[in-house]
Structure 1
Amino acid sequence: MKPQKEALEIVKKYISKYNEDNEDKIKENLLKELKNYLVRTGDGTVTLRSEDSKEMMHSSVGALTEAIYKFVKPTKLEERKDPFILDLCSGLTYNAVAALNYNRNAKIHMVEICEEVLFLSLFIDIPLKEHEIIKDKVREYFLNKLGYSYKSKYKNVILTVGDARKVKFYNYDVVFHDAFSPKRDPTLYTYNFLKKLYNSMNKNSVLSSYSSSIPFRRALVENNFIISEEKSPERKRGITLAYKDIDYKPNRVNEVDERLIALSISSIPYIDKTLSWSKEKIIKYREEIKLRVKMEAGNYISTKKIRANKVPNEIVKIQKEDKNSTEIIKKMSKVIGWDSILRRYLS
């Protein structure tokens, strides 16, 4: 999902008019113009309508609630000592604000491609005092961009505006992966981008994403993440957690998903070999690979049969082993005929 273009055009008008002294006036006028595009969610915080006017950028449960229960709580941020967080697709900044609220010693690298949404974050109300920290960093970006000289006093927040695929990454302990749905825009769900993330994460680090997409989870497995899942506050499908180099066994994803990730051709990951392909090219290339795998592999198990558990006994036995989901999926994958074909396209 993306914000409605009309809303972004309204916000864009105010960016060039912005200075440190007129925030209150801009807030009053901007929010008035956006009244048909902003929606109050269940916890009282606001979000934007998306391109589909019936859908919103955050769940109806609440934008702040979503940040807490899809990103902060599942990554056990409170328990981490001085964590370095990568906040992908920072948007209206709920995730970053919630993170600092739960761990004031955290350092955060915020990455956002849409200036308009980031600018709007200065004028919405997030009922946590840490919002002032994040706003000050956003304020620094826009004032300096407009030719003013402003220096934020907060050193624990880095803000980068641009395509995350091209951004310089550091070494992170936690990654909030809050990109749009991979079906709508797979650019940050590709095997290649997730490889970049994996290489930028420390030992015992974790990535959290609301997406439970099968191609996304397969891409994580192919990059040696240990995948897991936790319950989501407002839907049946669980959120995805992906760990790097941990020495314990997290919750497994459900058995049906393990089989689909390991066996179904629908699990073939999105690929972006240069980290610059358009979403249309990424989607088209994946469809081409699926056709090639079908032709080269010959016999394969249909998704319908996999869901019905009509799989070889060898698969059933593997799923009973006391291992993490990634180990189980990799072992099951070796049983099927097209596993090695896929890796040719990933290399």
Structure 2
Amino acid sequence: MAKEVKIITTEDGSHSLFLPEINEAYHSFHGAYRESVHVFMLYGLESWFVRNQGVQPIRIFEVGFGTGLNAWLSLVWAEQNKTPVLYHSIEPFPLEEKIYSQLNYTKIDETIMHYEPFFQIIHQEPWNEGGVVTEYFNMKKDSVGLEEAQLYPCDVVFYDAFAPNKQPELWTKEMLSKVVDAMNPGGVFVTYSAKGKLKRDLEELGLKVETLPGPPGKKEMTRGVKI
């Protein structure tokens, strides 16, 4: 994995990180913030919530904590909806404070800027421990890869690994099977990728797969629901 990390600004004004060693960014160049909201909040968490009103807590599993954007947005959602969320994320290469402290996600949407302190808090939470962050948001971050990770039953999966051509080991049917096995019935799996092989593998693993409109700059994305 790359050691050098560069902060870049995407088209919606929000930051992402670029890894020159593998020529890959953490998010879409067309807008990091918009991508996370579209793929993981709208078609992931919100989609599950609409289908399962009253089921609490909501258990989210994320592959790739990365910049912490998805975790922070989930915390905001939990507080706004007064709905308990248990968030489990894995990341074998956590960011250093000198990087995450510069990221500007909390400045992008003025309607949720008062949640700004929690972005730093979720990064400062100890790894491999877990605990209460806010009244409605509990989080556990494990600094391991997916192969070694212990998974817990989950309702929503944010599959936010690097692209299949950059990190193919995380997109094998074997790895996907490990995640699908942890999903509760009715669970939702979302990812920005729309690769044909991914969708075929998810279908063979028992998910009802949908190809949905992608975030700005990307035609399609994938969602799977566990039957």
Correspondence 1:50 to 2:35: no
User: Aligned equivalents of 2:97 and 2:168: distance in 1?
Assistant: 21
Q: What's the counterpart of residue 95 of structure 2? A: 116
- What displacement does 1:124 show? 2.0
The answer to whether the aligner puts 1:138 opposite 2:123 as a matched pair is yes
Contact 1:58–1:66 (Cα < 8 Å) also in 2: yes
Structure 1 residue 185 displacement after superposition: 1.5
Work out the CA distance in 1 between the residues paired with 2:184 and 2:40: 18
Q: Secondary structure at the match of 1:141?
A: coil
More helix by share: 1
Comparing both chains, which one has the higher relative contact order based on Cα–Cα distances under 8 Å and sequence gaps of 6 or more? 2
Q: Match for residue 94 of structure 1?
A: 69
Higher Rg of the two aligned structures: 1
Q: How high is the TM-score relative to the length of structure 2?
A: 0.80
Distance 2:149 2:34 in 1: 28
- Whole-angstrom distance in 1 between the partners of 2:101 and 2:153: 28
Corresponding residue of 2:225: 243
Aligned length: 208
Match of 2:9 in 1: 40
Cα distance, 1:173 vs structure 2? 0.4
Specify which of 59, 66, 72 is matched with residue 28 of structure 2: 59
Mapped contact 1:112–1:163 kept (Cα < 8 A): yes
Instruction: Please give the alpha-carbon distance, in whole angstroms, between the structure 2 residues aligned to 1:217 and 1:140.
Output: 35
Higher normalized strand content (fraction of residues)? 2
Residue type of the alignment partner of 1:133:
F
- Cα gap change, 1:189/1:117 in structure 2, threshold over 3 Å: closer, same or farther? farther
Distance of aligned partners of 1:217 and 1:182 in 2 relative to their CA distance in 1, 3 Å threshold: same
Q: Write out aligned runs for 1:271-310 (5 A).
A: none
Pairwise CA distance, 1:120 = 2.9
1:53 shift after superposition? 8.8
Q: Secondary structure at the match of 1:187?
A: helix
Deviation at 1:40, TM superposition (A): 1.6
Q: Please, what TM-score do these two structures have when normalized by structure 1?
A: 0.54
3-state SS of 1:75 partner = helix
- CA RMSD in angstroms comes to 2.7
User: Is the CA contact (8 Å cut-off) linking 2:30 and 2:217 kept in structure 1?
Assistant: no
Gap runs ≥5 in structure 2: 107-112
Q: Deviations over 1:224-275 (max 9, x none)?
A: 1111121012245310101102xxxxxxxxxxxxxxxxxxxxxxxxxxxxxx
CA distance in 1 between counterparts of 2:163 and 2:225 reads 21
Change (3 A) 1:153 1:218: closer
Q: Residue 220 of structure 1 aligns to a residue in which SS?
A: helix
What's the CA shift string for 1:37-96, capped at 9, x where partnerless?
Answer: 221223322112232797532223321211100111012525354311001101001111
Aligned-partner residue type, residue 167 of structure 1: A
Distance 1:166 1:54, change over 3 A: closer
